[in-house]
Amino acid sequence: MNPSAARVLVVIPTYDERENIPVVLERLREHVPTADVLVVDDGSPDGTGEVAEKIAADEAAATDARRAIAVLHRSGKLGLGTAYVAGFGWALERGYDVVVEMDADGSHRAQDLPRLLARVSDADLVLGSRWVPGGSVVNWPAHRKVLSVGGNTYTRLVLGIPLRDATGGFRAYRADLLRSLPLGEVASQGYCFQVDMAWRAVRAGARVVEVPITFVEREVGRSKMSRAIVAEALLNVTRWGMRERSRRVAGAFGRSRG
């Protein structure tokens, strides 16, 4: 795939990001001006969806517009995982070649996206990674770093996937990979969704690479991280790991008997 010729859609889930979404969309226009954008808004009480609609209309009316912005309105706070699955479906229906996940809070820098897109020429999934050489985080307290590094180490060991940052939400998928995955079966929410998708990609034999990024803690609004999200991720990763080990043991036992 030639990245410069690919049709790229950036999917941005939002919930109460009224102040951040104009900044994120402006930075995307500066650094990846030809990438289209889909804002998936979960009925934000602060009017984020309406703000995005106004920006989309203004951009569509501009004579020098090089991208399209669309807004997908959902009925309420239905979760990060389902927002991305809805965005993936929207992209596949419209024939995009590459689909990007990106947060709305400014933590994922638009200037890092061209380097992710450059790697889709030789990878099916490109992860923006905080924990490979060259990656970093800015303005994070020590406990957040420990939680992220520890969670990714646990995920890598339990699931046996060679990824340093499987929980990160800044990534680029080839559309062909998304078509091959059973997206209707992905029920994970929160950061566990990212692990679920990365693990499915690895198990499907996809080429997955990690590109270093700088992750910047949000300056405006509140983080969506919660104890419930962390607990879901820990529980699901443990369950998946146990299930995979049981499957391998059963397979080895069956082969030995045969």
pLDDT tens per residue, range 210-252: 999 999 997 776 665 566 767 777 888 888 888 877 776 555 5
Sign for the pseudo-dihedral over CA of 26, 32, 38, 44: negative
- pLDDT category of residue 201 using cuts at 50, 70 and 90: very high
Tokens of 114: 């061209």
Global confidence as pTM: 0.91
Q: How many CB atoms lie within 10 A of CB 237?
A: 24
List Cβ neighbours of 115 (8 Å cut-off, separation of 6 or more): 211
pLDDT tens per residue, range 123-159: 999 999 999 999 999 999 998 899 899 999 999 999 9
Residue 6 · residue 98 · CB < 8 Å:
yes
Tokens of 79: 């979760």
Distances (CA, A) of 229 to 80, 189, 190: 11, 8, 6
Distances (CA, A) of 46 to 17, 39, 82: 8, 15, 21
Q: Where are the alpha helices (DSSP H) in the chain?
A: 21-31, 48-61, 80-93, 113-118, 142-159, 175-180, 192-203, 227-257
Task: Calculate what percentage of the chain has a pLDDT beyond 70.
Answer: 90
Instruction: In whole angstroms, give the CA distance from residue 235 to residue 202.
Output: 20
Instruction: In whole angstroms, give the CA distance from residue 229 to residue 7.
Output: 33
Q: Is the pLDDT of residue 255 over 60?
A: no
Instruction: Please tell me the CATH code under which domain 3-257 is placed.
Output: 3.90.550.10
Beta bridge partners of 136: 214
pLDDT of residue 240: 84
Matching residue, tokens 């059963």: 250
Residue 86 · residue 79 · CB < 8 Å:
no
